[in-house]
Amino acid sequence: MAEFTAFDHAMMRRALALAERGLYTTTPNPRVGCVVTSGERVVGEGWHEKAGLPHAEALALRDIDAADATVYVTMEPCAHQGRTPPCVDLLLSRRVGRVVAAMRDPNREAAGGADRLSAAGVRFEHGLLEEEARELNIGFVSRMTRARPWVRLKVAATLDGGTALSDGKSQWITGAEARRDGHRWRARACAILTGGGTVLTDDPQLTVRDVATPRQPLRVVVDSRLETPPGARILPALVFSARAGKLPGAEVVVLPNPHGKVDLPAMLAELARRGINELHVEGGFRLNGSLVREGCVDEFLLYLNPSFLGGHEKGGALGMLDLPQPASLDARLRLRVLSLERLGDDLRLVARPAKG
């Protein structure tokens, strides 16, 4: 493992900050930033903004003398011809002396840059702030290595776990600041998913409105019986159903499981095939439970309001997840908390299923 200096760390942090500028725009590509230095002087910077536009390395190397320079990049330079030329060719032609990558490229088609650089005599090192780089591209890594998006399930609830009244009404459990934060998470996703029941009850738009964004995520509905009304505000959308049919304003994909519901793992595979890196879920009690039961949820985004909804007896308020009661306390679903933050009167909890 290479030993990195304080200057190396500072430059990679800068590259990560640049990469984050593409948080809302790079899909289906990864978020990548690049810094070029000569000695301890920054001579070039760049970040990838959008698929089809120049990669971070190309922008950072533009109009500079890069001979013997050090290039800090948040992901291994690509070695394949896509919509843009291979970045490794550019680095070699500019005679850089050293390349430091935070992480290797998980895309097998694009990988190989490290080997080509090393073979040409360019010093290649990686692993500097790797965890931060992977977190920034957690959806891209998931799609490349698991052939499915990173699934983030968002729930707004009271302290006793209530998410809606018995009639399904849930607007609004949390305050304005928490709802605005939820739109930030929507904006970074490639697609937003909800269930047919939520469409019928709330008629949501599922658009990003409370924060500035240059594009809207794809809207997706799980609707086993294909009951989404033609005038639903969520349309146009991609609709997964267990039943064949047509719905104006929707592309209907039929993926039934043996129980007459939508095959959720197959749905994730199809979304990955369409280039979806991060899937943001805002569903209801039943869809949430189905996704968790079938192992489809990677992360929980929980907004907790300091109030009690009550009525959890049969026919009362709805909870977060439709899950069967475990046989013992030890068998319950455990989470690992990543962060806890106060937003106005609400708390935002980010957690992932605990391993082991």
Report the catalytic residues: 57
- Strands 278-281 and 150-158, sheet pairing: parallel
Assess contact for 30 and 142: CB atoms under 8 A: no
Ordered DSSP codes for 291-327 = HHHTT---EEEEEEES------STTS-B-S---PPPS
Q: What are phi and psi of 211, to 5 degrees?
A: -135, 155
Assess contact for 315 and 226: CB atoms under 8 A: no
Q: Which ranges in the chain belong to alpha helices (H)?
A: 6-19, 56-60, 87-93, 113-119, 130-136, 138-146, 176-188, 196-202, 264-273, 285-293
- Rounded to an integer, what distance in angstroms lies between the CA atom of residue 137 and that of residue 194? 23
Which H or E element spans position 206? none
Both tokens of 36, joined, read: 């070029």
Dihedral angle computed from the Cα positions of residues 241, 247, 250 and 256, in that order, rounded to the nearest 10 degrees: 10
- Rounded to an integer, what distance in angstroms lies between the CA atom of residue 302 and that of residue 152? 10
